[in-house]
Structure formats: C-alpha cells, structure tokens
Amino acid sequence: MSGHALFSAAKAAMARSYAPYSRFPVGAAVRTDDGAVHAGCNIENASYPEGWCAETTALGHMIMAGGGRVTEIAVVAEKMPKIMPCGGCRQRLSEFVTADAKLHLCDVDGVVETVPFTAIFPSAFDMEPGA
C-alpha cells in the first residue's frame, strides 16, 4: 500500500473523531507487515485528561484484529499542516513498529513528508537491556 492509501484511511478515520472539547479532530492509520490497515480517531470526554489519541485507537483496532508489526503510520489533523504523534503515542507505537517503519505526516490533501519512525523516537525506552 502506498502512503496515499494509508493517508486516505487516516482521513476517513478523522471523520469519526469525537473531539467536542478540543475541537481538534485527528485521524491515524497503521499498516502491518501482513498488509492490513487499522485506523482510529481521537476520542475525548468531559474529564479532559482521560481522552485519547487517534494513534492509540488505531493500535487498539490492530491488536483486536490479531496484531502484527507496524511498517507504516499516517497521521492527519484538519487544523494542522503537519501533525506529529504526541510523546505517549510515540512510546505506544514504538512497542509495535518494525526497525524500518515509516511515518507519513499529512495535511488534509495528502502526505506532506515521510520520515523514519526512529527519527522521531530515538533511544526508546525498552525493557530489554541493550535492545
């Protein structure tokens, strides 16, 4: 799948966003090594810190569909020209990415920039010493 197809999945997920508090809809999609795509949106609630990100929803869908290793990620937010995953989501994604996983940074029209996941999350915390 191209970055464009993954972007389309992320954008479609953004349309499902439940963000009445921040009014900042986000969509994310991950592709696993078997080619499957899992998407998610951010989901907020009245206790503001208890909401969660689009990337986290996408990972939940991935795990419930059988898991896998994440080879590509796309994230889009309609109010931002190039959204970056937050710190918590970088750690969550880090658990499942392949060594050469790519991150597609998108605006509402498509992929703006593609970077290696390692570029945005070097020296990740890992329970395996020396990993």
Structure-token pair, residue 29: 């999609």
Name the phi and psi angles at 72, rounded to 5: -145, 145
Q: Residue 94 burial (CB < 10 Å; 0-12/13-18/19+)?
A: middle
Match 């993954």 to its residue by tokens.
6
Region of 8-16, 46-54, 59-67, 95-103 interacting with ligand THU (CB under 6 A): 46-54
The answer to whether 72 contacts ligand THU (rule: CB under 6 A) is no
Q: Please select the residue that binds ligand THU; options are 2, 15, 22, 65, rule is CB under 6 A.
A: 22
44, 50, 55, 72: the active-site residue: 55
Considering only the stretches 30-38, 47-55, 98-106, 110-118, report the one whose residues sit in contact with ligand THU under the rule CB under 6 A: 47-55
Specify whether the CB–CB gap between 116 and 94 falls below 8 A: no
Does residue 78 carry a catalytic annotation?
no
Distance of CA 24 to the CA centre of its chain: 15
Which parts of this chain interact with ligand THU (CB under 6 A)?
A: 19, 22, 24, 26, 42, 44, 51, 53-55, 85-86, 89
